[in-house]
């Protein structure tokens, strides 16, 4: 069995990019909340105690990397996790660090 080295490198780059995106305490806190379902920006600020502009900056990183998506309803913006890979990683982290 022969491995496609170019594909392996590409996949390794993608994995490194995802890990780099998740390797931030504030972003992990946001994703922990979003793993429970869609939330408004104000809700995220309240439950995580991450203040503006840090909250907006970290949400922008997650959005730019395709980890979360947004939905506007009137003046409110709702965030949800849109990456199946991020959901899997968050489930593993929860089981490893937060589960019983």
Structural domain spans, the chain: 5-98
| Predicted pLDDT at 10 | 94
Mean pLDDT of 38-53: 96
Using the structure block, give the residue that is written with the tokens 């080295």.
5
| Predicted pLDDT at 94 | 92
* Average of per-residue pLDDT values in the chain: 95
Q: Supply the CATH classification number for the domain 5-98.
A: 1.10.10.10
Residues 9-42: tens digit of each pLDDT: 999 999 999 999 999 999 999 999 999 999 999 9
Q: What is the pTM of this model?
A: 0.90
The CA distance from 30 to 44, in Å, is 7
Given a cut of 90, is residue 55 above it in pLDDT? yes
């Amino acid at each position: 069995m022969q491995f496609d080295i170019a594909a392996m490198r590409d996949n390794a780059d993608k994995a490194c990019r995802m890990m780099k995106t998740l390797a931030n305490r504030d972003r992990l806190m946001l994703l922990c909340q979003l793993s429970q379902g869609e939330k408004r920006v104000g809700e995220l600020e309240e439950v995580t105690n991450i203040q503006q502009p840090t909250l907006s900056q970290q949400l922008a990183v997650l959005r730019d990397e395709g980890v979360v998506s947004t939905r506007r309803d009137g003046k409110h913006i709702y965030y949800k996790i849109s990456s199946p890979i991020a959901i899997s990683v968050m489930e593993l982290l929860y089981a490893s660090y937060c589960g019983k």
